[in-house]
């Protein structure tokens, strides 16, 4: 007889831990950079099998990475015109708010209201 598989509550806890790890990787990326890439890869891998609540978090995390990468690229290009520094600062604030809101929603076991949003979900 085979051992019983994990029940749904254990799977959700595991998924929540993975989503939290991705948010942590995003926070650490402010100092290292590369951890955000690791986080978005994990989010892409987890997305197809995620329950509806975690699906919103993974989509939010994926969009945070790709939209953030766009903002960083624009900021770097515009640094020669000095305005890029402001763009990079706004990216930092934007991504910090998104990550904090995501962690708080995950902690409260709530989905991201609008994971497709360009702003704060």
For CA atoms 52, 53, 54, 60, the dihedral sign is: positive
Per residue in 60-115, pLDDT tens? 999 999 999 999 999 999 998 889 999 999 999 999 999 999 999 999 999 999 88
Q: Structural domain boundaries of the chain?
A: 11-107
pTM (two decimals): 0.84
Q: At what angle do helices 83-107 and 52-78 cross, to 10 degrees?
A: 170
Residue 10 banded pLDDT, cuts 50, 70, 90: low
Predicted pLDDT of residue 115: 84
Per-chain mean pLDDT for the chain: 88
């Amino acid at each position: 007889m085979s051992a019983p598989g994990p029940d749904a509550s254990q799977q959700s806890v595991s998924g929540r831990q993975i989503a939290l790890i991705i948010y942590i990787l995003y926070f650490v990326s402010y100092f290292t950079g590369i951890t955000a890439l690791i986080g978005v890869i994990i989010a892409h891998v987890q997305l197809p099998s995620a329950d509806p609540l975690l699906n919103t978090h993974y989509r939010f995390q994926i969009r945070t990475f790709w939209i953030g990468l766009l903002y960083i690229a624009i900021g770097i290009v515009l640094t020669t015109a000095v305005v890029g520094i402001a763009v990079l600062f706004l990216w930092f604030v934007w991504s910090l708010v998104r990550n904090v809101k995501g962690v708080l929603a995950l902690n409260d076991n709530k989905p991201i209201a609008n994971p497709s949003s360009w702003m704060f979900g």
